[in-house]
Structure 1
């Protein structure tokens, strides 16, 4: 990392001191930065490896600890645990965007807060830990950081796609036209927050916000589902 103090600060958050500091540097480097600099490695290859390490650790944990669950049930739960939303949640916990190395252009368009970029970086960090410290340290790291997500997934408290779930619930009563509308947005271009609402005809079911329209729509759908559940409790 260009600033050693920031790298040490992140290592403290991760609970990992790297033997090979270059692995963490690569894990934090976005392709947009490498495209502007010659001979700079970036994190896409590490992301590829980290995805597999994460899948293996979570698969083994579910297999060993939920023996009553079928293969199909475990596959669905694993998908919830390793999805982009879960990885993004972990990244936000570390404020990972602050430590990433990216081009000025990517930063100005909100790259430090983009869920897909941060989720990929988490996978790259997992790979860096695996290569630097081995599978047992990587396993401890993953289970420590994903334990709450695993617990929520197994209690059916995580939904992969709130928009789809809302659509399915509402269409139990026949075809219904669901509409997502942008209420407003605020903030500078590189940190723009969107406010959306979901409604049927003139009835507003829920509102949500996020740093992309997609995220705001998902949060609006999530609130709508919560409101429906409270109404019929």
Structure 2
């Protein structure tokens, strides 16, 4: 399925349907069914989409993409604990910073390219920089934006994340943008639609997903490692 943001930006959906209004008949897929070069870590994929250059033979390459979006659930205790920690950080940050970012800065980014955003918030030629700000938060769920650049000569990445912890399950809705020339709204429009569609997903226990421990020495994309440095927007 192809979803056109406009004539220039298209989302190729490899699994799921963001247009459904309820969870009836919702099917989960395994990581290895949706991605060509990503190791499974105990996730169940409910939705996966990327740009046309990232999709080949019905699978997304996480090593070669301009933008991608994913909805997943997991019952892995360490990932659930990370979700709880993220919600705690968002609660604390929102208490300290309030709504200034989401009301004043975030709207101004929508028509800007990722490159424009990075040039505005990051010093030139500086490695390992990150800005992270809360978009919304409650006791059991939170959403935030992260803009990360590991090395000055590498592309900046923007990630939008919604997470909700219920019992022993983490629900995560994530969208990632890496192409410096793509406007932020291409990412945020898709992510907002997915949050509206999946945020109140009813609880269902799933079993059987594979988990392969990541090789920390491999320089590969990891959707869980975006933004693992300190800072705020």
TM-score interval (norm. to shorter): under 0.3
Larger RCO (alpha carbons 8 Å, 6+ apart) = 2
- The structure in which a higher percent of residues are helix is 1
- The structure in which a higher percent of residues are strand is 2
Greater Rg over alpha carbons, structure: 1
Q: TM-score, normalised by structure 2?
A: 0.23
